[in-house]
Amino acid sequence: MPATEWWQRGPVAGVPTVLQPVAHILLQVRESVGELVAPLTVDEWNARPAGVASVAFHVRHIAGVIDRLFTYARGAALSPAQFEAIAREGEPMGTAEIPAALDALSHQVDAALAELREIDLATLGDFRGVGRAQLPSTVIGCLVHGAEHAMRHVGQLSVTVRIVQSG
């Protein structure tokens, strides 16, 4: 485990200064998830102590939330595949699916970082409608919330991991 968190490791290459916090959060999300889930068994991945969301849900949801909020930031609507992924987030995960779920999360972080490097900073305040109701947000609002919501689930994941490991 590194001695410092991502926000203390300096700028992420190619990401504009104003978007550095988003990049740092996304990188921290990926690293923290990997550390938290590394020792878990498949049963622990799927456990739902006291009815809380499983580790499997959190890992899928984190990748999905980044994907969805960055889609909104681009001004696009969610695709049928994204809606299907939402429906599958809560499903139990088999042993063979775990590496794919972690790879999907890592790929989503990489894709988000690539987008951050290409964003026209003049658009950060532009309106973005979120969801079917087209709730009002902005480009930067979607980017920040995508990272923040992902990190919120890392916190929930951390608690779930502690509980399932305690037996």
Tens of pLDDT, residues 60-71: 999 999 999 999
**Is 71 inside a domain boundary?**
yes
Domain around 108: 16-165
**Is 92 inside a domain boundary?**
yes
pTM, full prediction: 0.95
**Is 10 inside a domain boundary?**
no
CB-count burial class (<10 Å; 0-12, 13-18, 19+) for 115:
middle
CATH of the domain at 128: 1.20.120.450
**Is 127 inside a domain boundary?**
yes
> What's the mean pLDDT when you consider all of the chain?
96
- When pLDDT is cut at 50, 70 and 90, the band that residue 1 belongs to is low
**Is 37 inside a domain boundary?**
yes
**Is 4 inside a domain boundary?**
no
**Is 67 inside a domain boundary?**
yes
- What is the number of structural domains in the chain? 1
The Cα–Cα gap between 158 and 13 comes to 29
CB-count burial class (<10 Å; 0-12, 13-18, 19+) for 84:
exposed
**Is 2 inside a domain boundary?**
no
